[in-house]
């Protein structure tokens, strides 16, 4: 994780705890009345992804979630060794997910809502734009005789990736430190399909963690958030 990313992470956590302290001054929320929670996906920060989850309890053991996502930062090219990766690769994008959860009875803190072992389903869509440099044939800008020359050199490229799919999740969410605070950890089986403007030549499709990977794969996640009401 880069220093700017670490600084952003610490600022977000500091803001979260300030909100919790402000809530503690007011009337305490009853453990069994939690209905709306907002969480931040911590693991995704490592890949320049800022994803929030707004979870709403619509029944005693059932909730629905909206998951907006913003991607902005250095793009990681997993097709090359870490020592040769370019720090000037950049990614920008947005995404949106829609999920639901069923909390299994008697698996969380007694009386607590939005807590316990859960089974979840999620559908999602992402739109990403990547810019990077890669060797290829291009005009030689150093030619001075008026003729057009082509040279194999580093060139600027851009690539657009659209991803859509879904995931099945097994997770556990619990109260920590404070009745309003929620800690969420989960294991997901993902199925995603990606379409790149670069087609088969995309450099971001070789590893399961790549932005343009298609197929099924497992991921683990950790989120931290608080109950709004």
Residue 23's pLDDT is 47
* Number of domains making up the chain: 1
Rounded Cα distance between 93 and 86, Å, is 19
pTM of the full structure? 0.76
145 φ/ψ angles, rounded to the nearest 5 degrees: -95, 10
Rounded Cα distance between 98 and 166, Å, is 9
229 residues of the chain, pLDDT tens digit each: 555 555 555 555 555 555 555 444 444 555 567 889 999 998 888 778 899 999 999 998 999 999 999 998 887 766 666 555 556 788 899 999 999 999 999 887 777 788 999 999 999 999 999 887 776 666 766 667 667 766 666 777 788 999 999 999 999 998 888 888 899 999 999 999 999 887 776 777 777 777 878 889 899 999 999 898 8
Rounded Cα distance between 68 and 39, Å, is 11
Residue 5's pLDDT is 53
Rounded Cα distance between 204 and 220, Å, is 20
CATH of the domain at 197: 2.40.160
Please spell the DSSP secondary structure of 137-173, one letter per residue: EEE-TT--SS---EEEEEEEEEEEEEEEEEEEEEEEE
Rounded Cα distance between 112 and 205, Å, is 42
Residue 25's pLDDT is 40
Q: Which domain, by its residues, includes 100? A: 3-27+34-227
């Amino acid at each position: 994780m880069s220093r700017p990313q670490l600084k952003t992470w610490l600022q977000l956590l500091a803001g979260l705890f300030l909100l919790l302290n402000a809530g503690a001054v007011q009337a305490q929320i009853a453990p069994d009345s939690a209905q709306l929670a907002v969480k931040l996906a911590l693991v995704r920060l490592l890949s320049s992804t800022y994803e929030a989850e707004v979870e709403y309890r619509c029944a005693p053991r059932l909730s629905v979630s909206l998951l907006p996502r913003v991607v902005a930062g250095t793009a990681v090219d997993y097709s090359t060794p870490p020592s040769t990766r370019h720090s000037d690769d950049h990614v920008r994008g947005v995404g949106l997910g829609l999920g639901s959860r069923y909390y299994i009875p008697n698996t969380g803190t007694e009386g607590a809502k939005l807590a316990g072992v859960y089974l979840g389903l999620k559908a999602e869509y992402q739109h990403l734009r990547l810019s990077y440099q890669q060797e290829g044939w291009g005009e030689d800008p150093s030619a001075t005789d008026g003729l057009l020359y082509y040279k194999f050199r580093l060139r600027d490229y851009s690539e657009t990736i659209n991803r859509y799919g879904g995931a099945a999740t097994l997770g556990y969410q619990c109260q920590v430190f404070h009745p309003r605070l929620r800690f969420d950890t989960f294991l997901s089986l993902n199925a995603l399909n990606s379409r790149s403007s670069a087609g088969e030549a995309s450099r971001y499709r070789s590893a399961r963690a790549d932005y343009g990977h298609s197929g099924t794969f497992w991921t683990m996640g950790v989120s931290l958030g608080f109950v709004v009401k």
